[in-house]
Amino acid sequence: MPEPESTYLPWQISGTYLEACNCEAICPCRTVGGRKGGRSTNGVCTGSLSWLIDEGMAGETDLSGLRTVLALRYDDDEEGSPWDFFLYLDQRADAAQREALEGILLGRLGGSPELQFPWVWKPSRLLGVRQVAIEIDHTPGRGWFRAGGEVTVRVREPIADPEPVTCVIPGHHQRGRELIAERMAVHDGPLEFELSGRCGYESSFAYSSQPS
């Protein structure tokens, strides 16, 4: 019998992306004007990321319209800079959709995440996978998202910068826009933080099992 993972190959998902973290804008981890970023503002980074899948397939499993969120913490001064994170999956996803999304976002199905997701190619500690109600509005410059009662993010406005800003997670080949986050709150066990006036970032994304 085929391995369960092969059921979801090949896969591809595309859509819109929004994140916020505790760094000062522009987040020093980003690439600005082609100059690579580095250490986070505070040494310890806390944040949350969201993906709204406009179109997606994993094998014969349709992922279009589904939403995912990730909440994270990492320490630049801890050996290996491991990521501690929760993954939140859309409660509307059926068993196959959940398995496919989990396989993609955790890097188990290979492809783009092995190149673009730090929690895949760096040391990481998965704190849990939760299937919850997720709401996402990626209106440019004024987006927001919620995952259950654990995560809330809302951005206030874009910042003006003449140079292109890119982020590794949606991909440096995708130009995005730096934002100011009005609110970022995560309350889930070991991840407990709430901030305002820090950085955000919006972009589109296109991932696949066979990135070009």
User: Mean per-residue pLDDT for 145-161?
Assistant: 95
The pTM of the full predicted model, rounded to 2 decimals, is 0.95
pLDDT score at 33: 87
Lowest mean pLDDT among 43-47, 79-83, 173-177, 182-186: 79-83
| % of the chain exceeding 90 in pLDDT | 83
Contacts of 144 by beta carbon, 8 Å cutoff, 6+ apart: 135, 136, 137, 152, 153, 154, 155
pLDDT score at 104: 98
Q: What is the Cα–Cα distance from 59 to 164, expressed in whole angstroms?
A: 35
- Tens-place pLDDT, residues 15-29: 999 999 999 999 999
Q: What is the Cα–Cα distance from 95 to 201, expressed in whole angstroms?
A: 31
Q: What is the Cα–Cα distance from 111 to 133, expressed in whole angstroms?
A: 27
Q: Kindly tell me if the per-residue pLDDT of 32 is higher than 70.
A: yes
